[in-house]
Amino acid sequence: MSKDVAPIVPFVEARHVGRKQKPTAIVLSLSSTTSERGAALGIASYHHSASSPLVSHHYIVDEAETYRCVADNVAAYHSPYRSLSILLCAEPDEFEPNWVVLERAAELVAILLYVHGIRDRYLDDEMEEAWTKHKWRRRGGLIVRAQGTWPYSAFLDDVQRKSL
């Protein structure tokens, strides 16, 4: 496994980004788009365009492709400072994300955890609040921003299987 994800993920630069950062957490959220091939590129292109909203994500994943829109050492525009934002393409009103997208995201998350020395654990509300106050690496982990059901154990098991 490579120590750097940059060479393997196409870069479509987001128009809006934040300041420099050293990430200590990963925030996973769901889009309201299809999960089919092309959805990630569509969102990345939109964030790059002149009509882009004041939002960006570090990575966008659909069932066939992943795009990087913000360098890891720079904050995404709407995300918490010192975090990496991964947007998973998911159908609107889906209660559970597409498993192909989750598998692809688990591989990316495993690489990012390794590269940035982030702990492979979920942050519950109390842990996230502690991380928010002091964004140290030892307090970090995965934060999920998804409505409906998220397959917590299966996703983390998959991330750990894909880790070094």
* Dist. CA 80–CA 10, nearest whole Å: 23
- The domain segmentation of the chain, as residue ranges, is 8-162
The CATH number for 8-162, chosen from 3.40.80.10, 3.30.70.3150, 3.40.50.80, 3.10.310.10, is 3.40.80.10
Helix (H) or strand (E) holding 83: strand 83-88
Question: The dihedral of CA 100, 87, 109, 132: what is its sign?
Answer: negative
The per-residue pLDDT for 49 is: 87
19, 62 contact by CB (below 8 A): no
User: CA nearest 99: which of 109, 89, 85?
Assistant: 89
Q: Model pTM? A: 0.91
- Please list the rounded mean pLDDT of every run of 10 residues in the chain (164 residues): 60 90 96 92 92 88 96 92 95 75 95 95 95 92 87 94 84
Instruction: Return the number of other C-beta atoms located less than 10 Å from residue 98's C-beta.
Output: 21
The per-residue pLDDT for 4 is: 53
SS3 90: coil
The per-residue pLDDT for 32 is: 85
- The values of phi and psi at residue 28, to 5°, are -105, 130
- For 60, 95, 152, the CA distances from 32, given in Å and listed in that order, are 12, 11, 20
The per-residue pLDDT for 78 is: 84
Written as one letter, the residue type at 103 is: E
The per-residue pLDDT for 55 is: 85
